[in-house]
Structure 1
Amino acid sequence: MSTPLATTAEPLRRTTRRRGSVDRRDRWVGVAMVTPQVLGALAFVIAPLVTVVRYSLHEWNVLSGSFVFAGADNYDRMLADPGLRESLLASLYFSLGLVVLNVSLALLLAVLLNQKLPGTTTFRTFFFSPVVVSLVAWTIVWSFLLQDDGGINGFLAGLGVDGPNWLRGEGTAMLAVIVVQVFKNVGLNMILFLAALQSVPEEVQEAARIDGAGAWRRFRAITLPLISPTILLVSILTIVGSLEVFAQIAVLTGGGPGNSTTVLVYYLYQQAFRFNDFGYASAISVLLFVIVLVLTLIQWQTRKRWVFDEV
């Protein structure tokens, strides 16, 4: 009786050892694949963030070479800084205008492209090409077009309209910057929306059409809920991008007229590289990080109320 048991147990032990060896090898392969990403995050995300927080607790002037611990003085200074309040308002106006115009225009263009009309390939290329153009080159071209004697006012003059000085009027400078940024990135969001629209099941649309639902009813009750994950993604990317805008402000308006287009990132740049106050600039950087983090978390936590496929 002992011989059959021993014969059966030996292959079982060999199979268990082989399975354990495969599991260990899989674990090491997983560790090897994850390690570069972890090291990259530590080197380029966590370490700089910790360093910025450390700098924000110091008074650091590069010209004088001083680096003195100041505790929470830089954060107390932010509470009483009128320039920071103005930059936060400018960032709010820019973000609201950009998100509303960019997302709505991108969705409208995607819906038009999804109709399979003649010339859609040319239409798609026309709106996507600015995405791959250099941001600085794109902005410089628009800075010439938006001058008082630039191409846009020249076109309006041909129609008998006296155009404003777009980049020097407090009522038009922010609008001009928003429009330039919308045309720069709307093509990317358009492609994301188009991919989402093309993934909507045609049989669902056909069933609603047979039941008598009109085009608007089908779009509101079927299409929008099914592409809501993409709407969430595009909204997060657009909001985060709007809070990081810098090159457009620097090239087009330089933060003016007055401080009407001095957004938070540009105000941070001024504090660091014009006034050499790197400690205070670091505190503003921490504030910007907190704002982006809070807005992203709010969007993510509220997704279950309006994202269709969330459980």
Structure 2
Amino acid sequence: MEEDVSESVLAEVPVQRALPRRFLTPDTQTAMLFLLPSFLGFMAFMALPILASLALSFTNWQLISTPSFAGLQNYVRLFTVDPAFYTVLRNTLFFAVEYLTLNIIVSLSLAVWISSLKFGKAIFRVIFFLPTFTPTIAASVVWLLIFTPDGLADSLVRTVGLGLPNFLLSTTWAMQAIVLVTLWANVGYNVVMFNAALDLVPKHYLEAATIDGANAWQRFWRVRLPLISPTIFFATVMTAITSLQVFDEIYAMTRGGPGSATATLGFAIYQKGFANFQMGYASALAWVMFIMIMALTILQFRMQRKWVHYDD
């Protein structure tokens, strides 16, 4: 009897089989071999510099001297001692909000217009996307020449007896000029992405809305816009990240001026690190910018549940 019970108990115990040695198969080894250069490149040029910058943010280092541990001194200086930090932070947030809003509105409007065309869609996609291929510094220099007092814009306005302010030397207009140039250089990416999403909206949804009496605006607002909301969300996240990192246009056109009217976090990191050689302080600034980007991205992902509609 006892033998029967023990045999029945053993029969109910699941047999633990050895897991297949997947990582030792020839295909897996070959795949890992091909991934190795990318992994080493990521570690050498991304992961290690990021960790090094975090370590440097707790030091005082003037490049030509030996780094000395400073604890939280750089961060305390940022928030309590350096009055320019809040100016830079305000400029960064102002640029990000204005540029992000204009980019999404303009790119979505252009995408809707292109989608409504009967002919020439591909041509206009190429036209709007071309500026994204232009090197940012080169494009900024061209716009710098356009905005100068004797530049193209001023010359054209003078032909009708009017004049323009010196945009890049005005504390009121300098940031607007930076926003305009950045918008011109980058709006094409979202235009193409939104246009592709609009073209993928099922036609029978629009036909059903038309039969129900919806006009063009209602079809866009209640049908097309919700269906492309995942694309809008992705574009919003990526555009917000790039807007907080703006640097090239400011470096080429204003160098943070006039005064500090266009100085942003990206430019302040360059100025502190490579002009003043305060590498520890610049690293602290970089990590503040990183935390801002992470916080904004997390907030966007939490809020997207309320307005992004995924087609299950």
Contact 1:130 / 1:184 at 8 angstroms: preserved in 2? yes
Deviation of residue 20 (structure 1)? Answer: 4.7
1:3 is aligned to none
2:141 is aligned to 140
1:253 is aligned to 254
**Separation in 1 of the partners of 2:70 and 2:20?**
55
TM-score (norm 1): 0.88
1:115 is aligned to 116
1:173 is aligned to 174
**1:264 partner letter:** L
Note if 1:130 corresponds to 2:131: yes
Contact 2:227 / 2:311 at 8 angstroms: preserved in 1? no
**Separation in 2 of the partners of 1:164 and 1:23?**
66
Deviation of residue 40 (structure 1)? Answer: 4.0
Deviation of residue 190 (structure 1)? Answer: 0.3
**1:68 partner letter:** S
**Separation in 2 of the partners of 1:136 and 1:88?**
23
1:74 is aligned to 74
**Separation in 2 of the partners of 1:48 and 1:22?**
33
Distance 1:258 1:21, change over 3 A: closer
**Separation in 1 of the partners of 2:23 and 2:241?**
41
Deviation of residue 39 (structure 1)? Answer: 4.0
Deviation of residue 310 (structure 1)? Answer: 7.4
**Separation in 2 of the partners of 1:224 and 1:127?**
21
- What SS does the aligned partner of 2:68 have? strand
Task: Map 1:1-311 to 2 at 5 A.
Answer: 20=20, 25=25, 28=29, 31-32=32-33, 35=36, 37-63=38-64, 65-80=65-80, 81-309=82-310
**2:76 partner letter:** D
- What SS does the aligned partner of 1:66 have? coil
Contact 2:154 / 2:163 at 8 angstroms: preserved in 1? yes
Deviation of residue 58 (structure 1)? Answer: 0.6
Q: May I ask how many residue pairs the two structures share in their alignment?
A: 294
- Give CA deviations for 1:34-86 in whole Å, capped at 9, x if unaligned: 655544443333221111011011110124x1311111100100012111111
**Separation in 1 of the partners of 2:70 and 2:22?**
55
**1:93 partner letter:** F
**Separation in 2 of the partners of 1:162 and 1:112?**
33
Structure 1's unaligned 5+ residue stretches are: 1-15
- What SS does the aligned partner of 2:67 have? strand
Contact 1:304 / 1:310 at 8 angstroms: preserved in 2? no
**1:161 partner letter:** L
- Give CA deviations for 1:263-287 in whole Å, capped at 9, x if unaligned: 1110111111111111100111111
**Separation in 2 of the partners of 1:215 and 1:76?**
55
Task: Give the fraction of aligned pairs with identical amino acids, expressed as a percent.
Answer: 34
**1:202 partner letter:** K
CA RMSD of aligned residues (A): 2.2
Deviation of residue 33 (structure 1)? Answer: 6.0
Contact 1:303 / 1:310 at 8 angstroms: preserved in 2? no
- Give CA deviations for 1:178-219 in whole Å, capped at 9, x if unaligned: 000001011111000011001100000000001001111111
Distance 1:309 1:34, change over 3 A: farther
Distance 1:21 1:69, change over 3 A: closer
**Separation in 1 of the partners of 2:203 and 2:162?**
47
Contact 1:196 / 1:227 at 8 angstroms: preserved in 2? yes
**1:206 partner letter:** E
TM-score (norm 2): 0.88
- What SS does the aligned partner of 1:44 have? helix
